[in-house]
Amino acid sequence: MNSFKKFFALILACITVASLASCGKGDNAATTVPVTVEGATVAPMDIPDIDRGEEKISIIAPENAMGYAFFKLAVDRAYAYDIVTKGVTSTSAAEKFKNGEADIAVVSLEDASKLSTESDIRILAVNSTVKLTLIENGDTLTNVNDIKGKTVYCGIDGAASQAVAKAIFADNGMNADLVFASATEVETKLKNGEAKICIFEEPAATRIVAENEGVSKKADMTVAWKRDYAPVQSCVVAKADFVEANPDKIKEFIEHAEIGTNYLASELGAGDFAPQLVENGYFSSDVLGRDTLIACGFVFAYGEEMQTMLEGYCGFLAENGIEITLPKF
């Protein structure tokens, strides 16, 4: 960072402190949001603007809850990473990664399992977990117990997430008639009035509530998950030879990704960053962007924590007839 940037950073810091000191406590008082929280985010002024050229790490991540956690990294660390998310799904990310179009990929656990049978890869981290939200078109539910004996439409794509939903209901004695269909089918039934009480994965649930008048969130069903490990949604993977050839870059990447993910998982970070996502066409409003980021279930687990989580969850899936081949750690 040159001397001008250092001087500018110092002046900005002084202005921020002065603004905080002058804030009132009334309803109309101005609010100053700190831009630097150690361990949660790093202000752009503190990041070296170094162009690494071809030495940048290329990353591909889905344009959904699996990849949203990497938006902060893409903005703050553009000098080190070339991140593609627009129009990407887990399946397309896995295919491009397999074809050598990216050094690192964010994919579903299921796609990571398929990749491991085709390539020598390593799981670097878990970066999102399954989040299921109960929503209602109407206002008959006062608490989760009110769904007893009622039909609940589960718009959940994927056998793994469906197994999570079934386990939550069984473990908590929630006696309801669960009807499983694709997220698209259940959303259509919700809109035409055929389905009143539904469960969707995030971030679909947040979007559906925002787009449909009279539809509201009733409960985060994943809170009732009774196991010691979280239900894993997505993983960060890299080719084994890339990991072995670039240990320092991998270590730095994990540190950077953890900072960005923790930031966006917080209410402060989600609210602060949502406008940038709106500007780039990911969300229609700041409120929707903020609410979506908060609801997504971001985590960043690596090392022993990641291994414990993955082994526990894969054991659960095996008990439910879903076999996952774990890549090496």
> 3-state SS string over 93-155?
HHHHHHCCCCCEEEEEHHHHHHHHHHCCEEEEEEEEECCEEEEEECCCCCCHHHHCCCEEEEE
186 Cα distance to chain centroid: 22
Confidence at residue 258, expressed as pLDDT on a 0 to 100 scale = 93
Q: What is the pLDDT of residue 64?
A: 86
Cβ distance 121 to 81 under 8 Å? no
Domain boundaries, the chain: 37-129+230-319, 132-224
Q: Which residue has the higher pLDDT, 39 or 103?
A: 103
For residue 25, the number of C-alpha atoms closer than 13 Å in the C-beta half-sphere is 0
Strand, helix or coil at 64?
Answer: coil
**Distance, CA of 236 to CA of 243 (rounded, Å):** 12
pTM of the model: 0.80
Q: 37-129+230-319 and 132-224: same fold?
A: yes
The total of other beta-carbon atoms located within 10 Å of residue 167's CB is 18
Give the pLDDT confidence of 185-215 residue by residue, as tens digits. 999 999 999 999 999 999 999 999 999 999 9
Top-confidence residue, 206 or 42: 206
pLDDT band at 288 (very low <50, low <70, confident <90, very high): very high
Highest-confidence segment of 43-52, 55-64, 290-299, 312-321: 312-321
Checking if the pLDDT of 90 tops 90, the result is yes
CATH number listed for the domain at residues 132-224: 3.40.190.10
Dist. CA 83–CA 244, nearest whole Å: 21
For residues 202 and 296, the answer to whether their CB atoms sit within 8 Å is yes
Out of 120-124, 236-240, 273-277, 303-307, pick the least confident: 273-277
β-strand pairing of 298-301 with 104-108: unpaired
Closest CA to 129 of 220, 60, 38: 220
Structure tokens at 234: 């997505």
pLDDT for 321 beyond 70: yes
Over the stretch 124-146, which tens digit does the pLDDT of each residue have?
999 999 999 999 999 999 888 89
With tokens 């996952």, the residue in question is 324
3-state secondary structure of 168: helix
Q: Which residues contact 199 (CB under 8 A, 6 or more apart)?
A: 132, 133, 134, 135, 152, 153, 154, 155, 156, 165, 205, 221
234 and 160 in contact (C-beta within 8 Å)? no
CATH code, residues 37-129+230-319:
3.40.190.10
